Structure 1
């Protein structure tokens, strides 16, 4: 009962009146947390009915004040100032003035003014950050290439350090085991190219030149490019996932603790295996794609296999095949480097493995297409 009586003693009150040209709001009693809901409802609509008036908030009648009440008074004063009135707070005891100052300072600090949103500035900032990050990643990848090159030269001087068993294992994984998917997709690509070319050349009565289109397109560009993209998605991602899982399980750290070089054990066998396998896969893809085109030409254009081979001999030569296959070792180096580099960047979480595996595939395919475009420009400049 004493606690209830204390809580209801001197309840907070408000009175308003005009004194000459000044509107006065007098506050008294206990402005504490229990009184705030009742006082807040009255203060929401309290204010002078004349524009740009002089307002005086008289706190001489306050018996007690806590932070909730002080915040209520501060918000009232700010609202009246925002409406164009001149507000003065008077009559408060020194301790209450100190509390009001602290509440005002804390409320301003908790609600900083938000900067104006500028879409163009935000776009430029994101483009700039992405450009800087891309440059940094390119520099790190170039440094990784240098480290792999130094390790490879060390193996040339000491060939007994080369691990033949991992090399043969990865050669089987990236080469022999990739034959079904590469063959299937190449066969279908050959059919699509022959079909689309036939529809256009038939308008001119030049269906036989479908063989020229197919042979040059597949041998120079499409065969090795599609094979490299398939290998990047299949083997490049596998390199990242395998090495990344070893990083998560701290196997790479254990190798370094034992004095073993992870680049020599994990990177070089994969790199050399892919450099050997990708040209062979590219040649295999070319043959299968041409076979798919020949099947399509026979069934759709009545071009026999003998006619197809004869026209193919007239359309292409050894240089055409060389232009396509010479790109394969370069593409293999890029795919293996990116896959192993992203795998070694994995941190100790499964989420990191997934993110960097995805990044490995995207970056590998991007670099393969960029390099293919550069090769095309170079060969055109050299007249090949």
Structure 2
């Protein structure tokens, strides 16, 4: 005898509870027609007990089990005590699996306290920063080991790659660095003249320019510009190679990606950053001299004599000694973030931005540490 089509009826059992009886073929074809009838099942007494009888089912598939499970959950949500019994043993596992999967997890609508939320985000950011710092130290160790291996065997150094990156990071950066340094000198001279003129100390604008540019502003502006220009380029270049699986190909060929991609960039930046800092110092002082000539009537000869009196070679050395350290940090961060690219264009852009922010942050922190150290040493 062929199974009956899906059917459903409601009644009251002997104990006064509502009884929903289902029978026939509760499958995709039969149960779908009864979905509207299930929506209309509403016991007249609030909180009344409801029993769903599935003992008369001939066939039950996922669609039928889902409709019955939704009925049971809706009635429970309306405040009824719902019991699904009896049910055939061959239908019970499917119905339990569907009912468990159909129940959505409770959604918490409670809003966290703003202070707790701020503390949580601060803690998460702190842990992430510490983890990033440990990874950077590990990468620095890997770079150090690779450079030591190259010192032992100098023939492993790729001079062509180093010279190429010296041109890219040094020679090609001269126009933008010179222009910005010149403008910094102009602004410093103008602002200093505006303040010192009130006390008749116009000539001390030269002292202000010499000390600030040679000790701090020259190297700091150079490092920031190089971090935004060359550090981001390192990340984008290596990240694009990661996306194109070129780094994996290098490893497959038995070559060291750190030796091939990282060390030449780091060495090139270590060579070029002191030279760029010296060039930025000259352009900044030249900008200050031009502004002093037009605003304070200080001739170029007077400017040079006062500069020689105000600062000595030590001021220039204080600025330039920071350059190799800043260069190593910028190259390390740029290459490290490039090697972290996961294989998508979105990852390249995100990590390029991150490398610039991290590089500038570390440069500022190191500059502050250098200032404390030089103050302690009386330099």
TM-score exceeds 0.5: yes
Structure-2 residue corresponding to 1:104: 96
**Unaligned residue ranges in structure 2 (runs of 5+):** none
Q: 1:109 to 1:35 in 2, by over 3 A?
A: closer
C-alpha contact (below 8 Å) 1:274/1:333 kept by paired residues: yes
Structure-2 residue corresponding to 1:367: 362
CA distance in 2, matches of 1:246, 1:214: 44
CA distance in 1, matches of 2:260, 2:51: 82
C-alpha contact (below 8 Å) 1:14/1:28 kept by paired residues: no
CA distance in 2, matches of 1:145, 1:73: 64
Which 10-residue stretch deviates more, 244-253 or 188-197?
244-253
Give CA-to-partner distance per residue, 1:107-153, whole Å, 9 cap, x none: 31354525758674863673365135313322322222321341243
Given candidates 125, 135, 138, the residue that maps to 2:136 is 138
Pair 1:15 & 2:10 matched: yes
Pair 1:94 & 2:88 matched: yes
Structure-2 residue corresponding to 1:290: 285
Q: 1:77 to 1:341 in 2, by over 3 A?
A: closer
Aligned 1:75-86 pairs, distance under 5 A? 75-86=70-81
Cα RMSD of the aligned pairs, angstroms, is 3.7
Q: 1:153 to 1:295 in 2, by over 3 A?
A: same
Given candidates 186, 191, 207, the residue that maps to 1:212 is 207
C-alpha contact (below 8 Å) 1:152/1:268 kept by paired residues: no
Structure-2 residue corresponding to 1:3: none
Aligned to 1:366, what secondary structure does the other structure show? Answer: helix
Given candidates 170, 175, 185, the residue that maps to 1:175 is 170
CA distance in 2, matches of 1:331, 1:93: 74
C-alpha contact (below 8 Å) 2:140/2:332 kept by paired residues: no
Pair 1:50 & 2:45 matched: yes
CA distance in 2, matches of 1:319, 1:340: 33
Structure-1 residue corresponding to 2:105: 113
| Greater Rg by CA | 1
CA distance in 2, matches of 1:348, 1:62: 53
Structure-2 residue corresponding to 1:278: 273
Aligned 1:221-370 pairs, distance under 5 A? 221-242=216-237, 248=244, 250=246, 253=249, 257=253, 267-343=262-338, 356-370=351-365
Give CA-to-partner distance per residue, 1:334-355, whole Å, 9 cap, x none: 2333344455556776666555
CA distance in 2, matches of 1:60, 1:164: 83
CA distance in 2, matches of 1:345, 1:226: 27
**Unaligned residue ranges in structure 1 (runs of 5+):** 1-5
Given candidates 152, 168, 179, the residue that maps to 1:184 is 179
